[in-house]
Amino acid sequence: MTIGTRPRARRAPARATARTNVSGAASAALRPVLDSPRKPARVLAAFPAGLYLEVRTELEPHVIAVLTGEATRLPNAVVLAGELPRVTVGDEAVVGDGAIEVGRISLRARRWWNPAPPLGSADPARLAQAAPAMAQICRASSRRPGLEHNGAAEMLADGCVTGSLVGMITAAEHLVGLGPGLTPSGDDVLAGLMVALRHLGHASGAPRAVWLADWLAAAVTFDARTRTTPISATLLHCAARGEASLEVLAVLRGIAGRQALEPALARLLTLGHTSGADLACGLRIGLDAVLGLTAERAA
């Protein structure tokens, strides 16, 4: 056998995967993460209408939702102007320097929205009218909260209505991470409550409601990453700052009389298996607490 002496031709170096530049609309909550230096990330979950990226960072939101226009616009989301990239759970990504690189796309935000727009002032009498209306709509709905008749949820409501910080925090400790799914029911109730206390407290001139929201936020977010799912932990951090999905914000506007309440609440109740009903439960607890605190202040 003859051995050739001609040197073997060198292979051309592998070409980097070509990326398609796309744009989207992003929540302003993502600015700290997107504007920071590049960090590795991974695909945490992927669905037809969106995918979730977990970024290796201490900043929040550390989970970013990349969504199509049909998905629920979460407070930690970037909404694509095109189709989602084809990815699977565990795929690598990069986030930072103003961009998200995942699959074959490089995504940059060209427009921004505020996930915590202020309600402005709201008449406590208008809020009082919204409370029984919400109760009636929720009773008539086939969508039930995942923690209905749960002792911790009832303790949370009692602590908020009476303004008991100890009772509220104790109940919250039991609720973090309670329930199955990407966003456990206990977390959704707490998220709805924190958003309601903060926005309705500011709108109705009830500073103690905002004070309760601050304490609840500190307790819930302190170790959320170790007690619940990554997606839910990020959403709790968002809710602690008053940031919420468009469906939740629409219900708050309905409570304050800025738009029709019934269709907004009906839309919220359809979200997920129990997420919408759990969020509505938290909003109702927060509304009742704000009403109690404004009445106490007026007395």
- The three-state DSSP-derived secondary structure of 215-269 is HHHHHHHCCHHHHCCHHHHHHHHHHHCCCCCHHHHHHHHHHCCCCCHHHHHHHHH
Specify whether 72 is located in the same domain as 218: no
pLDDT at position 299 is 54
Residue 16 has pLDDT above 60, yes or no: no
In whole angstroms, give the CA distance from residue 98 to residue 16. Answer: 20
Residue 227 lies in a domain: yes
pTM: 0.91
Specify whether 107 is located in the same domain as 245: no
Closest CA to 253 of 109, 86, 117, 108: 117
Residue 13 lies in a domain: no
Specify whether 157 is located in the same domain as 293: yes
Provide the angle, in degrees to the nearest 10, between the axes of the packed helices 246-255 and 185-204: 40
pLDDT at position 211 is 93
CA angle 225, 228, 232 (to 5 degrees): 85
In whole angstroms, give the CA distance from residue 284 to residue 282. Answer: 5
Domain stops at, among 113, 147, 168 = 113
More confident residue, 15 or 252: 252
Specify whether 77 is located in the same domain as 156: no
Specify whether 42 is located in the same domain as 134: no
Specify whether 159 is located in the same domain as 36: no
Residue 296 has pLDDT above 90, yes or no: no
- pLDDT category at 154 given cuts 50, 70, 90 is confident
Provide the angle, in degrees to the nearest 10, between the axes of the packed helices 275-298 and 246-255: 30
Mean pLDDT of 19-48: 95
Domain stops at, among 113, 143, 175 = 113
pLDDT at position 150 is 82
Residue 249 lies in a domain: yes
Specify whether 83 is located in the same domain as 157: no
Specify whether 226 is located in the same domain as 270: yes
Residue 41 lies in a domain: yes
Residue 1 lies in a domain: no
Q: Which residue range(s) make up the domain with 161? A: 124-298
Specify whether 169 is located in the same domain as 267: yes
Residue 2 lies in a domain: no
Domain stops at, among 86, 113, 140 = 113
Specify whether 204 is located in the same domain as 76: no
In whole angstroms, give the CA distance from residue 69 to residue 61. Answer: 20
Greatest mean pLDDT among 150-159, 161-170, 176-185 lies in 176-185
Q: Which two tokens stand for residue 215?
A: 């304490």
Specify whether 160 is located in the same domain as 283: yes
Provide the angle, in degrees to the nearest 10, between the axes of the packed helices 275-298 and 151-162: 20
Number of domains in the chain: 2
Residue 12 lies in a domain: no
Residue 8 has pLDDT above 80, yes or no: no
Specify whether 87 is located in the same domain as 221: no
